[in-house]
Amino acid sequence: MHIGNFLLSNYWIYLFHMPKLVMEEKLLLEGGWKGWGEISYGGHQCLKRAQAAEYLVRSWMGERYPDIDDKIVSYIMGYDSLKAIGINNDSYSSKQVIDARLRMDGLFELEEHAVEFVEEFIALYTNGPAGGGGISTGQRKEIILQKILVDRENIFWRAHAKKASIPCLQNQAAGCEMVRMHILQSQKNPTNRAMGIPRVDTSIETLPSPVRASPGKKIALYHIAHSRVGDKGNDMNFSVIPHFPGDIGRLRAVITPDWVKNVVSPLLDLSSFPDERMIQRRINLLELVSVEIYNVPGISSLNVVVRNILDGGVNCSRRIDRHGKTLSDLILCQEVALPS
């Protein structure tokens, strides 16, 4: 059995070669059939026309296949496709949108559902709101890579070292001296200045020290910390690293599991224009989301794990950002007030 790409702390391992019978049952799973479509609207009330187009496609699909609406997600590209505005979208009014591109993604159990979805979306050209253009559609079968837990006794280690050639310290010193002399010569040469060759600044400037965030003032996390996101299956984790290390204690008081769940909840919406039924669905799905927050004292930061939030994972996600890398902006856009 060949193994690779494993996480040591939890012993998660992706199996790349197993007996055929086991591979079919446990490694590669059928994720269903994906159907998607995009169409653009511009100018006056383009956002409302995109909303009407979404309603039509959902209605047409519902007439033939009842109870299939939850298989479809939609969003406006360039408006909320990455959910970076989160729940604070009051400042993003339809008056500011002059170019709306509607995208709808469906993940269905049957191929005929994906085919029908694409056909109904194409019908927007002739039977949809006025001015729709730039339509594109597609469909394909989705495959999910399954991860399993491997027992410790089945993991074998082997290390191999190969001798490498390392330049001697004398050669390194000679190389550094040659570079230094070249820089000095170029700075003294008037020909270089006449030809517009920039002078090399060899001085090292000291960066200003980070400043502690003011207490009680509501500001975006962008001004307090930076963040990166990673994914593993249907789970994501993001870091929160304060610019001023001393702020980590105050950030821990603000970034709680409930705060995180509230921030990521828009990711569970089926539409850019959710109705009461969709809002209730989001609330139900949010109960399946769990949050774990870990302190990383060595670098004065937090590592936050959010489970069941990536729409099934990169292999079958219906979102435009399947890996969730842009969700760091969703976190950093949030306004917080740090305690004293």
Domain boundaries, the chain: 2-28+147-152, 31-145, 218-337
pLDDT band with cut points at 50, 70 and 90 for residue 3: very low
% of residues, the chain, pLDDT over 70: 71
What mean pLDDT do residues 156-184 have?
A: 61
Mean pLDDT over 226-235 rounds to 88
Of the pLDDT bands very low, low, confident and very high (cuts 50, 70, 90), residue 186 is: low
Summarised one tens digit per residue, pLDDT across range 81-93 is 766 555 554 444 4
- Of the pLDDT bands very low, low, confident and very high (cuts 50, 70, 90), residue 64 is very high
The band of 187, judged by pLDDT with boundaries at 50, 70 and 90, is low
Residue 105 has pLDDT above 80, yes or no: yes
Of the pLDDT bands very low, low, confident and very high (cuts 50, 70, 90), residue 189 is low
Mean pLDDT confidence for 48-75: 92
pLDDT at 23: 35
* Sign of the Cα pseudo-torsion (303, 306, 309, 310, in order): positive
Residues in contact with 229: Cβ distance below 8 Å, sequence separation at least 6, in sequence order: 236, 237, 238, 323, 324, 325, 326, 327, 328
The average pLDDT across 303-317 equals: 88
**If 0-12 CB within 10 Å is exposed, 13-18 middle and 19+ buried, where does residue 83 land?**
buried
Average pLDDT over residues 9-14: 40
pLDDT of res. 53:
94
Residue 20 pLDDT exceeds 50: no
Decide which of 201 and 106 is more confident: 106
Q: Are 128 and 59 in contact (CB under 8 A)?
A: no
pLDDT in tens, 121-156: 999 988 999 888 889 999 999 887 777 777 777 777
pLDDT of amino acid 156: 74
What is the CB neighbour count within 10 angstroms for residue 302? 19
Percent share of the chain, pLDDT over 90: 31
CB 82 within 8 A of CB 320: yes
Region 151-180: what's the mean pLDDT? Answer: 63
Query: What is the pLDDT, as a whole number, of residue 163?
Result: 63
Of 3 and 168, the one with more pLDDT: 168
User: Does position 236 have pLDDT exceeding 80, yes or no?
Assistant: yes
Secondary-structure class of domain 31-145 per CATH: alpha beta
Is residue 232 pLDDT above 70, yes or no? yes
Which one is predicted more confidently, 108 or 9? 108
Predicted local confidence at residue 190, as pLDDT = 52
Which stretch of 80-89, 168-177, 322-331 has the lowest confidence by average pLDDT?
168-177
Q: What is the mean pLDDT of residues 166-178?
A: 56
Region of poorest pLDDT, from 96-105, 202-211, 216-225 = 202-211
Mean pLDDT, the chain, integer: 77
Query: What residues form DSSP beta bridges with 232?
Result: 235
Please tell me whether the overall predicted TM-score, pTM, comes out greater than 0.75 for this model: no
Q: Return the pLDDT at 320.
A: 79
Residue 69 has pLDDT above 80, yes or no: yes
Q: Is the pLDDT of residue 185 over 70?
A: no
What distance in Å separates the CA atoms of residue 51 and residue 74, rounded to the nearest whole number? 10
Q: Mean of the pLDDT values across residues 236-258?
A: 92
Which helix (H) or strand (E) segment holds residue 100: the answer is: strand 99-108
- Output the DSSP codes for 265-329: GGGG-S-SS--HHHHHHHHHHHTT-EEEEEEEGGGTEEEEEEES-STT-TTT--SSSTT-TTHHH
